[in-house]
Homo-oligomer: A and B are copies of this chain.
Amino acid sequence: MNTTPSHFPLNAWYAAAYDVEVGRSLLARTICNQKLVLYRQIDGTPVALEDACWHRLLPLSMGRLEGDELVCGYHGLVFNAEGRCTHMPSQETLNPSACVRSFPVVEQHRFLWIWPGDPSLADPALVPDLHWNQDPEWAGDGKMIRVQCDYRLVVDNLMDLTHETFVHGSSIGNRAVAEAPFVATHGERTATVTRWMENIEAPPFWAGQIQHARGHVGPVDRWQIIRFEAPCTVTIDVGVAPAGSGAVPRGENPGDRSQGVNGYVLNTITPETGNTCLYFWAFARNYCLDEQRLTHQLREGVATIFREDEFVLEAQQKAIEEHPDHKFYNLNIDAGAMWARRLIDRMVDAERSDAPGAGPTVIPIRRAG
């Protein structure tokens, strides 16, 4: 039962699949309540069509590919990559209305991105920057999981890492995270939470990494720089360096992390419906780039951590549905999540208030560099 009203902008790019998930077979996905079928043409170009035949609504994903076209599995209507019907059984004349919706697709940084809203606004420059996922100076891998919750609960979760202490105590959490001060800032479409924990004992995960990569044992300076880009992408710059080795920025000095280890947790969370989402993540590192064993180990280690979150997020979703009118209190730690929510609301409100006649609004992203 979908008891949560949907709350997401349509004029935005959403990750629909990892690049390798889509090939010469038909993949069904739901993005923002819209059922899609994804495939690649012979030359590799990705295609996203509405997953319902124009004739009798059978999901086109139950059909088959014939060259670059898709044949419905019930009565054999054929649709091309633009969604136009090119063949009907037992008749010569094709109904000119016979087509299914086609969606803008961009392939970037190992994801296929879909724009479920107005196609004329689908500017590829608006795709979130996840270049660490495909950069020779970084190594990593990731996964996709389906979580039974509103995508915004995943955003909340990522915007406040205090929860590491309580949810992930055995790996990346320790008391320092819950107690360390942080700074929250925001832009027109981004919000950032920065937390430095100086001269602390590294939690088990990071203690292992810095020892393995740099041979360092002992106290560290640890950082977490969380950057949200509305509506649903969160990159987290994380790492540790030997305590006092200069990693901490001071005034104009950006800090020198060269003795430390650095990772990026890349997260983009695509609403399927109002209360389910597809959570795409990857973990990229800037050390020991050639160790495939380490890539594998980190991917599975992070997956284990995210399963702990999944358990909490789905319980929280259920509790929210049982308390539909609950007003939430915010703590200091919720500053980042509050800004993320506000930026999402702004995008949704902008879409809803777009008067017919007035041009629709896309909130700009200003990129550094």
A residues adjacent to B (C-beta < 8 A): 35, 52, 54-59, 62-63, 71-76, 88-91, 95, 97-98, 156, 160, 162-163, 165-167, 178-182, 311-312, 315-316, 319-320, 322-323, 326, 328-329, 331-333
Contact check, A179 vs B312: say whether CB atoms are below 8 A apart.
no
Contact check, A316 vs B56: say whether CB atoms are below 8 A apart.
yes
Contact check, A73 vs B167: say whether CB atoms are below 8 A apart.
yes
**Chain B residues with CB below 8 A from A165, complex form:** 76, 89
User: Which B residue sits closest to A98, measured CB to CB?
Assistant: B329
**Chain B residues with CB below 8 A from A75, complex form:** 160, 162-163, 166, 331, 333
Contact check, B74 vs A163: say whether CB atoms are below 8 A apart.
yes
Among A76, A98, A179, A320, the one with the most B-chain Cβ atoms within 10 Å of its Cβ is A76
Q: State the oligomeric state as a number of copies.
A: 3
Contact check, A76 vs B329: say whether CB atoms are below 8 A apart.
no
Contact check, A316 vs B58: say whether CB atoms are below 8 A apart.
yes
In-complex Cβ contact of A329 among B52, B97, B163, B166 (8 A): B97
Known A165-B89, A181-B90: A331·B55 in contact at CB below 8 Å: yes
Measured CB to CB, the closest approach of chain B to A37, in angstroms, equals: 12
Beyond the given A57-B316, A76-B178, could you list 9 further A-B residue pairs with CB under 8 A, ordered by the A residue number? A58-B315, A74-B166, A76-B163, A90-B178, A90-B179, A90-B333, A91-B331, A91-B333, A95-B329
- 30 A/B residue pairs, CB under 8 Å, sorted by A: A35-B322, A54-B329, A55-B331, A56-B316, A56-B328, A57-B323, A57-B328, A58-B312, A58-B315, A58-B319, A59-B315, A62-B312, A62-B315, A63-B166, A73-B312, A74-B163, A74-B166, A74-B316, A75-B163, A75-B331, A76-B178, A89-B165, A89-B179, A89-B333, A90-B162, A90-B178, A90-B181, A91-B332, A91-B333, A95-B329
Contact check, B59 vs A319: say whether CB atoms are below 8 A apart.
yes
**Chain B residues with CB below 8 A from A59, complex form:** 315, 319
Measured CB to CB, the closest approach of chain B to A272, in angstroms, equals: 13
User: Which B residue sits closest to A1, measured CB to CB?
Assistant: B1
A315 to B90, CA, bound (A): 24
A210 to B178, CA, bound (A): 67
**Chain B residues with CB below 8 A from A35, complex form:** 322
**Chain B residues with CB below 8 A from A329, complex form:** 54-55, 95, 97-98
User: Which B residue sits closest to A52, measured CB to CB?
Assistant: B319
A72 to B162, CA, bound (A): 12
**Chain B residues with CB below 8 A from A73, complex form:** 166-167, 312
User: Which B residue sits closest to A153, measured CB to CB?
Assistant: B56
**Chain B residues with CB below 8 A from A54, complex form:** 329
Measured CB to CB, the closest approach of chain B to A198, in angstroms, equals: 16
User: Which B residue sits closest to A95, measured CB to CB?
Assistant: B329
**Chain B residues with CB below 8 A from A55, complex form:** 328-329, 331
Contact check, A320 vs B57: say whether CB atoms are below 8 A apart.
yes
A322 to B56, CA, bound (A): 13
In-complex Cβ contact of A331 among B62, B89, B97, B331 (8 A): B89
User: Which B residue sits closest to A330, measured CB to CB?
Assistant: B55
A329 to B91, CA, bound (A): 14
Contact check, A76 vs B320: say whether CB atoms are below 8 A apart.
no
Measured CB to CB, the closest approach of chain B to A40, in angstroms, equals: 22
In-complex Cβ contact of A88 among B74, B322, B331 (8 A): B331
**Chain B residues with CB below 8 A from A56, complex form:** 156, 316, 328
